[in-house]
Chains A and B, each alone.
Chain A
Amino acid sequence: MESRRGTSGRPGRIGLFLLLALTTLVFFLPILWMVSSSLTPNQTVFKYPPQWIPDPVTLRNYTDVFTTGRTVRIGQALLNSSIVAIVTVVITIAISSLAAYPLARMDFWGKNSLFLLILAGLMIPWEVTFVSLFLLFHKLRWINSYQALILPSLASPFGVFLLRQFFLSIPKDLEEAARIDGCGRLRILVAIILPLSRPALATLTIFIFLMSWNNFLWPLIVVTEPKMMTVPVVLAFYAATFQSTLEWGTLMATAFLSSIVPIILFLILQKQFVRGITLSGLKG
């Protein structure tokens, strides 16, 4: 991609670089500080001037959050978050592809209104449903359960929308050939459309995974038992417990542990992630 707006020569270029370099520092240093604090013993973490390279470097904070006889274990939380995120991704992708296919390819009764209803779902701040959902799960005695953590996030209008847009861009010829051969609609979706939609599916996967992994308010509401807590909820729990005892090293270790999976995923799948935002943005 060529540069779009002609900058006014060399001084402009340098100014631009300075702006970006400064921005990069502002965005990156806090993360670095989180990592650095997490490797510093709780006793010396307050030292002035701030020590960017801990001396001594310690893994105590990490072993602490994994092992000590705490009621809330980060290991269990990492496991819970993984289970919830993976199940959410698999089911959401399955039901979103099924729903997106007729919206992209079939002509049926009520199609336009249904599509509008799904689009409206993109605009709804879904926190407004939390009171009712809590009452529903309370009635079902599903507070502190995987069902309660997973079920509400399966209704993803974003997934349906994104896949529909992508399906529309796939040429129809292949499909028509298969239909003439007597191939059913479901076979066409599974055997032809989905394999061609790999980029969109990758995008959706990382998006839904991150949304689920980072989800904070709903798990905070629906989980009260330590053994069902997800990673962000454990963070809130630790914050309430250790902020008063000023164990910032431990807190930063927990914060970093909660971030490491998303950061690695992002670094590997940057392209898909950026595309997800782009798709959601352009045609919204």
Chain B
Amino acid sequence: MHNLCFKNRETLSNRSGRIDGDPEKLALSSLQRRIRRIKERVAIPYCFLLPFLTVYFIFLIFPIGQGLYVSFTDWDMMRPEKHFVGFDNFRFLFFRDSQFWPSVKATLWYLVLNVPAKIALGLLFALALNQRMRSTVIHRTAIFIPFVINTAAIGLLWSWILDPQVGILNYYLAKLGLPVQKWLVEPTWTMFAVVGVTIWWSIAFNTIVFLAGLQEIPEKFYEAAKIDGANPWNCFWSITLPCLMPTTMFVTIMQIIGSFQAFGNIYLLTGGGPVNATRVLMIHLYETGFSYFKMGPASAIAVILFVLVMVLTILQLKLFRRRAES
């Protein structure tokens, strides 16, 4: 893009260099040119951008800044006045809020279980769907349908299926002679159940992104490898995986951001329980801010979330760039 802009600028200056003649005319035309230049390079483009930038700043950029400010105040909605309290909200979260650290732990646990599984399975499904078969469309549709359903319905449906007494999952597990679990009651199993449901609901995204990545790989790479006598396994490791690097990077970053954002699928399934086992940061933020109306600590959680996501994203970008260079 840099290059493109530069080129345009060059042609512009060339064009202006062409005008010569008597100095008065030149002065006038240079003023006109300047006005036209401002019109072309500032006024018109920003008129186009104005509606978007207005909502973008009011509803995205400004709230982030204001959230940062609120996180340093003692605003709690019940009182009209608010005071600057320094790091009190953060201190409250770190040292006195008994649910903050459990929710950090739950978020990280969710992330660790969710992200690698979804990347591996997404790749597996993409590889399977990339082998054209007569039934491919049916398989793809089946994987996709859960993805378009809202998270509240997903949570509700699965709390019905996973119900320890009357749910069908336990019924069929028992029938197959497998151990029955108290899915959403037993703290250890709940997070696995939540992650399982999340994979079921949202694996389509990774699958389709990987599928697109696979179709970008030039066919001739595989042909050349075949001539060299490579088996499919070699091809996968030395062609498919390296070529999918950029896709994998994108998917990983999106998954990490998405894991921090998870709310609906967990909230309706478990409400954050049992005993905080699935109380992720978003649930903690929601309850702190909108059940107890403690806006200061809630904003502090938002700030922490924001910083965590940014740091992880930047680290990832650096890591992948270094690997791409080597």
Contact = CB atoms under 8 A, between A and B. Distances in A.
Interface of A: 1-8, 13, 16-17, 19-21, 23-24, 26-28, 30-31, 33-34, 37, 46, 48-50, 94-96, 98-99, 101-103, 106-109, 111-112, 114-115, 118, 121, 123-136, 138, 151-152, 154-155, 157, 160, 185-186, 189, 210, 213-217, 220-221, 231-233, 235-236, 239, 243, 248, 251-252, 254-256, 258-259, 262-263, 265-267, 270, 273-274, 277-278, 281-282, 284
A31 B156 CA distance: 12
Contact of A101 (B48, B142, B200, B222): B48
A247 to B, nearest CB: 11
Contacts of B160: 33-34, 37, 248, 251-252
A98 B135 contact: no
Contacts of A214: 148-151
Nearest to A276: B208
Interface in B115-171: 125, 127-133, 135-136, 138-139, 141-146, 148-153, 155-161, 166, 168, 171
A259 B208 CA distance: 21
A112 B158 contact: no
- B contact face: mostly helix, strand, loop, or mixed: helix
A284 B59 contact: no
Task: For the complex of A and B, list the 10 residue pairs with the smallest distance between their C-beta atoms, beginning with the closest.
Answer: A281-B209, A99-B52, A129-B63, A132-B63, A102-B45, A214-B150, A108-B45, A232-B152, A255-B153, A235-B152
Count class of interface residues, chain B: 35 or more
Contacts of B67: 128-129, 131-132
Contacts of B289: 130-131, 134
Given A132-B63, A214-B149, A278-B209, A19 B128 contact: yes
Contacts, number: 314
Interface of B: 1-2, 5, 8-9, 40-42, 44-46, 48-49, 51-53, 55-56, 58-60, 62-64, 66-67, 70, 75, 77, 125, 127-133, 135-136, 138-139, 141-146, 148-153, 155-161, 166, 168, 171, 200, 205, 208-209, 211-217, 219, 222, 226, 231-232, 235-236, 240, 247, 250-251, 253-254, 257, 260-261, 263-264, 267-268, 282, 285-286, 289-290, 295, 298-299, 302-303, 305-306, 309-310, 313
